[in-house]
Amino acid sequence: QGASGGAAAAAAPGWTEEVEEKEVKKEEASLLHKLLHSGLINSKNDIEVLRKDPNSPLHSVKSFEALNLKPELLKGVYDMGFNAPSKIQETALPTLLADPPVNMIAQSQSGTGKTAAFVLTMLSRVDISQNYPQCLCLAPTYELAIQIGNVVKKMSKHMVGLSIRFATRGERVERGQPLEDHLIIGTPGTVMDWCTRHRALNLENLKVFVLDEADVMISMQGHQDQSVRIQKKLGPGCQMLLFSATYDTQVMNFAAKIVPNDPVIIRLRREEESLENIRQFYIECHSVEDKYRAMCNIYGSISIGQSMIFCHKRKTAAWLAEKMVADGNAVALLTGDLTIEQRAAIIQRFRDGKEKVLITTNVSARGIDVEMVTVVVNFDLPVTMEWNADCETYLHRIGRTGRFGKNGIAINMVDGARSMAILKTIEKHFGRKIVRLDTDDLDEIE
Ligand code: ADP
Per-residue pLDDT tens for 338-379? 888 898 899 889 988 899 999 998 775 555 666 678 889 999
189-205 confidence digits (pLDDT tens):
999 999 999 999 999 99
Instruction: For residues 354 and 289, give the distance between their C-alpha atoms in angstroms, rounded to a whole number.
Output: 27
According to the model, what pLDDT value does residue 401 have?
52
Q: Over range 149-173, report the average pLDDT.
A: 97
In this structure, which residue's CA is closest to atom 20 in ligand 1?
113
If pLDDT is split at 50, 70 and 90, which confidence band does 266 have?
Answer: very high
Q: Give me the DSSP letters along 57-125.
A: -----SSSGGG---HHHHHHHHHTT--S--HHHHHHHHHHT-SS---EEEEE-TTSSHHHHHHHHHHHH
Q: Report the separation in Å between the CA atom of 114 and the middle of ligand 1, taken as the mean of its atom positions.
A: 7
Q: How many Å lie between the centroid of ligand 1 and the Cα of residue 138?
A: 18
232 Cα–ligand 1 center, Å: 30
Q: Ligand 1: which of 64, 86, 108 to mutate, most ligand atoms within 8 Å of CB?
A: 86
Each residue of 408-444: pLDDT tens digit? 889 999 999 999 999 999 999 999 999 998 876 666 6
What is the rounded radius of gyration, in angstroms, for the C-alpha atoms of the chain?
Answer: 25
pLDDT for residue 362: 78
**What per-residue confidence (pLDDT) applies to 41?**
80
255, HSE (Cβ side, Cα atoms, 13 Å): 27
**Is the interface score ipTM higher than 0.85?**
yes
Cα(418) to ligand 1 centroid in Å equals: 44
Residues framing ligand 1 (Cβ under 6 A): 37, 39-40, 82, 85-86, 89, 110-116
- Residues 32, 24: contact at Cβ < 8 Å? yes
> Considering the entire predicted model, what is its pTM?
0.82
Q: Cα of 166 to ligand 1 centre, how many Å?
A: 21
